[in-house]
Chain A
Amino acid sequence: MSNISIKGDLREGIKMVVNPSLSWDEIKNLIIDEIKNKEKFFKGVNIYIDFQGREIDNTEWEELQKQIYENYGIMLNKDLPKIRIPSSNIAKIIIGPIRSGKLVSSKENLLIIGDVNSGAEIICNKSVFVLGKIRGSIWAGYENNDKAIIFALGLEPEKIQIGSYIFDLPKARHRKAGYFLYIEDGKFKIDTY
């Protein structure tokens, strides 16, 4: 493995993986060289450095950050954005719409193709993906799985719950075309597209 490699697999930007066994000065020079050589390529892109568990001194890191930003206008990050993927890739597929009065329960991830209408209930031990609009109620990560996520194309729900957290959604209609709901640090988070 080379001492530095680029992985562009982040939705938010580019990941740069460095060899954790090198000294800080070596790592620093590697990063600076890499950015200097491909300055145009990196322009305007978020760069996340993956130290693969290596301890980094904060003042040294901030110095590098500042140096790169001043010379190239590029902001380095070291905290990787969490990539939210379901814990297993098996999903039960249901063709919707799920109508009022219908209860769907599943121990596997759920992929619902169609809307979940008002008065319908989904209870799933894992994650729920709705290729449609949620108007009914969904409990993902039943009963205590806070790692579950919910994805929906449209969001006007009656109730949303992930694990032990109930999402208090403002009544206003959302006008985005995709929603990711998940729990982070004990709080409900919502990403839109």
Chain B
Amino acid sequence: MGKSIVITSGKGGVGKTTAVANIGTGLAMRGLKVALVDTDIGLRNLDLLLGLENRIVYNIVDVVEGKCSLKQALVKDKRLNNLYLLPAAQTKEKEAVSIDQMKEVINDLKIEFDYVIIDSPAGIEHGFKSAISGADEAIVITTPEVSSVRDADRVIGFLEAYGLRDPRLIVNRVRFDMVRNGEMLGVDDLLDILSIELLGIIPEDENLIISVNKGEPIIYSGNKYKSALAFNLIVKRLLGEDVSWDELEKSESFIEKIFKIFKG
């Protein structure tokens, strides 16, 4: 029996789908059997980030409506044999899948897979509730902005109310230089406000935008880019390894130094 993890945020556009694509790929690269579930019905994106948009035949709504089996709806990744995507329907609405149906789908996937990573929609309505219903664990992702932090706080409250105790935090789009100058909330400030365990820090990285547009998760590039390194550290942490975040900040300042040399 595998483990299901939901990645959620409350606020939209903070990097849920990117995190799902990269963490899922990272786990699969380590040989684990991974299923990624897009529950953002009506606004699906996860297929694009994985470059699988033209391979989708069936989707999660077809599964719960009995039009196809779960196996038929799963899309195998282009590069990894042990990574699968269960896509959302683009032409239906969130209510097309009930909370109980979602729970059942996730439980069926857990039998086959080591990890089931669930991509939650933004908001705290039906879609969010069904996304977290089948999850064993939760990861909350936020950016260091007050609006995003407040929404994350709300979501943590919801998760706790729904029995998902001890969610862990990923802080996305951190700019260490701005934090050092006091222009951006630091990770310590966020942990102080949200009082949950830190799972990872992802620095702001334009290479990440390029990888999203290419449909190729950045984690494939190994540790070449700082965001890829960050995702690798998160995957390690998820698998129970001890990880130091200093490595990340060091790599950042190293890159900054090189920039400075070039700029003269």
Q: Which residues of A contact B (CB under 8 A)?
A: 97, 99-102, 114-115, 117-119, 135
Residues of chain A within 8 A (CB-CB) of B151 are 100
Residues of chain A within 8 A (CB-CB) of B193 are 115, 117-118, 135
The reply on B7 being an interface residue by CB < 8 A is no
Query: Digit string of B151-164 for contact with A (CB within 8 Å is 1, else 0)?
Result: 10110111000000
Are A118 and B149 in touch, CB under 8 angstroms? yes
A40 to B156, CA, bound (A): 58
Q: Which of A102, A115, A118, A119 is in CB contact (< 8 Å) with B195?
A: A115
CB distance from B144 to the nearest CB of A (A): 14
* Chain B, residue nearest A96 (CB): B195
CB distance from B160 to the nearest CB of A (A): 8
- Most A CB within 10 A of own CB, among B146, B149, B151, B157: B157
The reply on B110 being an interface residue by CB < 8 A is no
For this complex, 26 residue pairs linking A to B, each with C-beta atoms less than 8 Å apart, are A97-B195, A99-B153, A99-B154, A99-B156, A99-B157, A100-B150, A100-B151, A100-B154, A100-B157, A101-B153, A101-B154, A101-B157, A101-B158, A115-B193, A117-B150, A117-B153, A117-B194, A118-B146, A118-B149, A118-B150, A118-B153, A118-B193, A119-B150, A119-B153, A119-B154, A135-B193
* Chain A, residue nearest B152 (CB): A100
Report whether over half of chain A's contact residues are helix, strand or loop; otherwise say mixed.
Answer: loop
A102 to B150, CA, bound (A): 12
- Most A CB within 10 A of own CB, among B153, B154, B156: B153
A119 to B151, CA, bound (A): 9
Interface residues on B, range: 10 to 19
Q: Which residues of B contact A (CB under 8 A)?
A: 146, 149-151, 153-154, 156-158, 193-195
A117 to B156, CA, bound (A): 12
A99 to B167, CA, bound (A): 14
Q: Which of B146, B149, B157 is in CB contact (< 8 Å) with A102?
A: B157
Residues of chain A within 8 A (CB-CB) of B146 are 118
Residues of chain A within 8 A (CB-CB) of B157 are 99-102
CB distance from B197 to the nearest CB of A (A): 14
* Chain B, residue nearest A101 (CB): B154
Residues of chain B within 8 A (CB-CB) of A135 are 193
A119 to B153, CA, bound (A): 9
* Chain A, residue nearest B159 (CB): A99
CB distance from A136 to the nearest CB of B (A): 9
CB distance from A60 to the nearest CB of B (A): 56
Residues of chain B within 8 A (CB-CB) of A102 are 157
* Chain B, residue nearest A117 (CB): B153
Closest 6 A/B residue pairs (Cβ): A99-B157, A100-B153, A100-B154, A101-B154, A119-B150, A99-B153
A101 to B157, CA, bound (A): 8
A115 to B157, CA, bound (A): 13
* Chain A, residue nearest B196 (CB): A97
A130 to B158, CA, bound (A): 22
Residues of chain B within 8 A (CB-CB) of A100 are 150-151, 153-154, 157
A102 to B155, CA, bound (A): 11
A100 to B11, CA, bound (A): 13
Residues of chain A within 8 A (CB-CB) of B195 are 97, 114-115
CB distance from B220 to the nearest CB of A (A): 36
CB distance from A63 to the nearest CB of B (A): 56
CB distance from B178 to the nearest CB of A (A): 18
A99 to B194, CA, bound (A): 8
A53 to B157, CA, bound (A): 53
CB distance from A23 to the nearest CB of B (A): 61
A134 to B195, CA, bound (A): 14
* Chain A, residue nearest B151 (CB): A100
A101 to B154, CA, bound (A): 6
* Chain B, residue nearest A99 (CB): B157
